Amino acid sequence: MIRFGTNPIAWANDDDQTLGANIPTARILDEAGRQIGFDGIENGHRWPQNDPEALRALLAGYGLAFVSGWHSLNLLANTVEEEKKAIQPHLDKLKHNGCTVAICCETSNSVQGLAQPLSTRPVLDAAGMAAFGAKVEEIAAYCAAQGVDLVYHHHMGTVVQSPEDINAFMAATGPATKLLFDAGHCYFGGGDPADVLRRHVGRVRHFHAKNVRPTVRAKVEGEGLSFMDGVRAGVFTVPGDQDGAIDFAPLLQILAGAGYDGWIVIEAEQDPDLRNPLLYQTLGLATLKRLSKAAGLI
């Protein structure tokens, strides 16, 4: 069953917490659940982090399910056993809330939150990617044994950024490792979202509907800006925004053809003082529902 979700970073950014700092938590939840009508919402720094039941109750009060949440992997710095212990509290929270996927990304050497150009991001050679993929597969099998799929989030500023990285990573991992396909990060990283999704859709278990403003992307690349410089400048937006470059119709058709039945989540961080989250998220959800219906996905 397809369910539509959002991420609170449209209202209150996790990486730059000055963005949206003035927006009350109750407003975020009320707009996302009661006013716009999302089925669920992903994790954010405003939610209870160490009390799974308090998290469930908070979101349920606004008609929202807990979709899932980000977990930072550090497999390039730690052992697999250390990382199993590190992820277990997160898995416990997910299981308590009925989540089926754990969003994971390697961050031990990422530049995504640093004030340095994206061009300085880490790159693994073939041997390094093979070794890394084997470690991720071990963690994924550990998660799967508890009924949760590890969905790997390819992300700007990390070791899995470009379409070539995604292909190499998917080849280096086994059946337990699933993919979180993010249309925006795919496009920003130099890929054609439809081509990349079509190639890997059989292992996609989570979908982030993030759009990209190409003019801002070009500025980030041309001026050697950081990832967060791009976010603050508005590189990301929602489906349906005419400033965005991504056509979501073929992506939803690909998902429909593969029998996808997971979450479709609008994860599109912008400065809420410049772009009203209520208006943009409403546009995004209406666009996705319209295109999903046309594709036969819902």
Task: Give 3-42 pLDDT, tens digit per residue.
Answer: 999 999 999 999 999 999 999 999 999 999 999 999 999 9
**Percent of the residues in the chain that have a pLDDT greater than 90, as a whole number:** 100
Domain count, the chain: 1
In a domain, 47, yes or no: no
* Residues facing 70 on adjacent strands: 103
In a domain, 12, yes or no: no
In a domain, 13, yes or no: no
pLDDT band for position 240 (cuts 50, 70, 90):
very high
In a domain, 191, yes or no: yes
In a domain, 31, yes or no: no
In a domain, 8, yes or no: no
CATH code of 240's domain: 3.20.20.150
Contact 10, 277 (CB under 8 A): yes
Average pLDDT over residues 275-285: 98
- For residue 228, the model assigns a pLDDT of 96
What predicted TM-score, i.e. pTM, was given to this entire model? 0.97
pLDDT in tens, 71-87: 999 999 999 999 999 99
Q: Could you tell me the residue range of the domain that residue 101 belongs to?
A: 68-258+271-295
- Please work out, in degrees rounded to the nearest 5, the angle formed at the alpha carbon of residue 151 by the alpha carbons of 149 and 157: 160
Contact 4, 38 (CB under 8 A): yes
From residue 134, alpha-carbon distances to 8, 122, 170 in Å are 32, 18, 11
Nearest-CA neighbor of 68 among 52, 85, 86, 84? 52
- For residue 106, the model assigns a pLDDT of 98
In a domain, 248, yes or no: yes
- For residue 3, the model assigns a pLDDT of 98
pLDDT band for position 295 (cuts 50, 70, 90):
very high
In a domain, 40, yes or no: no
